[in-house]
């Protein structure tokens, strides 16, 4: 019997997951088919309920449902609970278990591709949506000493600061966590004291209203800082171009996408994912 897995989100037309996940299953000759399951908010409950029975094995969940599915699964893994978002579901003994592989996927890419160990370092996060939540929890858990959040809508940054502060207290993680206004001078000052900046906004994403725009200009980016853009389409984002102009180190979002997918693959199959195969399929999908 062929196992079915897929990605649930809305809209889904630009998702690369079907491409690189299917390449991974085919590489091992596993009887899995990965599909795109676009679901409107009204259809979400039925899309999740369907996963409870064979041939469904699980799913990825993406924008805008990562938070909503927490209440639709039977059990939520500890890290996904801390983050407040699920991006991977596994059907296990008839029950649905929710996981978050964005946070470990982010850290894997940060260490492997960025050569960056967060312990004792300071970071600025741009954005306060689902990705920023996962990145914030990941960095705190990895021993970051200072986290500065900056978001266009300041109330969301403040809310994320209080969420992360609560998690840090519960886990006895010591770090200073604060929000600053989305203003040039505040950002410039915070960046001058930081080792890492992560763009967790969608600014610069292809097919979005901000396509071609960078959330930061080169003049604000200190030389030598690691500039990590979670946006992966285009591969060379406007922010990464500004980073290079400033003499900073650029890191794009494709490796995180692949690593979070590799961890989902491991959850569904129990096998180590063929990361290089997945990366090649995704690159082909982006440039080809």
- Interface residue with ligand NAP among 145, 202, 241, 266 (CB under 6 A) is 202
Choice between 3 and 275, CB closer to ligand NAP: 275
Annotation says 66 is catalytic: yes
Q: Tell me if 153 contacts ligand NAP by CB under 6 A.
A: yes
Q: Counting Cβ atoms within 10 Å, is residue 287 exposed (0-12), middle (13-18) or buried (19+)? A: exposed
Number of residues that bind ligand NAP (CB under 6 A): 25
CB of 4 to ligand NAP, least distance (A): 23
Site for ligand NAP in 219-278 (CB under 6 A): 230-232, 253, 256-257, 260
**Minimum distance of ligand NAP from residue 152's CB (angstroms):** 3
* Least distance in angstroms from the C-beta of 125 to ligand NAP: 9
Residues 11-50 that bind ligand NAP (CB under 6 A): none
Decide: is 203 part of the binding site for ligand NAP (CB under 6 A).
yes
CA distance 55 to 76: 22
**How far apart (Å, rounded) are the C-alpha atoms in residues 58 and 77?**
15
Select which of 13, 66, 68, 92 is catalytic.
Answer: 66
Q: Does 116 bind ligand NAP (CB under 6 A)?
A: no
Instruction: Name which of 33 and 152 has its Cβ closer to ligand NAP.
Output: 152
CB of 178 to ligand NAP, least distance (A): 17
At its nearest, how many Å lie between ligand NAP and the CB of residue 55? 27
Decide whether 74 or 158 has the Cβ nearer to ligand NAP.
158
Query: Which listed residue (103, 167, 187, 200) binds ligand NAP by CB under 6 A?
Result: 200
- Is 281 a binding residue for ligand NAP by CB under 6 A? The answer is no
**What residue is closest to ligand NAP based on CB?**
129
Cβ burial 245-281 (10 Å sphere, 16+ → b, else e): ebebbbbbbbbbbbbbbbbbbebbbeeebbbebbbeb
Taken in order 272, 274, 276, 278, the sign of the CA dihedral is negative
Residue 279 within binding range of ligand NAP, rule CB under 6 A: no
* Alpha-carbon span 239 to 103, nearest angstrom: 22
Residue 85 Cβ vs ligand NAP, minimum distance, rounded to whole Å: 8
The rounded distance, in Å, linking the Cα atoms of 146 and 140 is 9
Contact 232, 206 (CB under 8 A): no
155 binds ligand NAP (CB under 6 A): no
Pick the closer one to ligand NAP by CB: 127 or 141. 127
Residues that bind ligand NAP (CB under 6 A): 63, 102, 127-132, 151-153, 156, 200-203, 205, 210, 230-232, 253, 256-257, 260
By annotation, the residues acting in catalysis are 66
């Amino acid at each position: 019997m062929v196992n079915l897995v897929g990605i649930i989100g809305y809209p889904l037309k630009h998702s690369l997951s079907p491409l690189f996940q299917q390449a991974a299953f085919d590489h091992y000759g596993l009887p899995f088919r990965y599909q795109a399951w676009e679901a409107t908010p009204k259809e979400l409950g039925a899309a999740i309920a369907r996963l409870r029975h064979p041939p469904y094995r699980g799913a990825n969940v993406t924008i805008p449902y990562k938070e909503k599915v927490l209440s639709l699964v039977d059990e939520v893994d500890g890290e996904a609970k801390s983050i407040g978002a699920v991006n991977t579901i596994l059907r296990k003994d008839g029950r649905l278990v929710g996981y978050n592989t964005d946070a470990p996927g982010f850290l894997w890419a940060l260490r492997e591709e960025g050569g960056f160990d967060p312990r004792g370092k300071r970071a600025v996060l741009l954005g306060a949506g689902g990705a920023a939540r996962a990145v914030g929890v990941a960095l705190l858990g990895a021993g970051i000493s200072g986290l500065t959040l900056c978001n266009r809508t300041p109330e969301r940054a403040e809310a994320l600061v209080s969420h992360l502060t609560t998690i840090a207290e519960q886990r006895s993680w010591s770090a200073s966590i604060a929000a600053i206004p989305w203003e040039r001078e505040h950002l410039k000052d915070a960046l001058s004291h930081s080792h890492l900046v992560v763009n967790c906004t969608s600014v610069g994403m292809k097919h979005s209203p901000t396509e071609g725009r960078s959330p930061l200009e080169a003049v604000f980016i200190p030389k030598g800082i690691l500039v990590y853009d979670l946006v992966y389409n285009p591969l060379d984002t406007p922010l990464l171009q500004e980073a290079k102009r400033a003499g900073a180190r650029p890191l794009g979002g494709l490796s995180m996408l692949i690593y979070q997918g590799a961890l989902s693959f491991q959850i569904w199959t129990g096998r180590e994912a063929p990361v290089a195969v997945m990366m090649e399929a995704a690159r082909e999908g982006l440039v080809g």
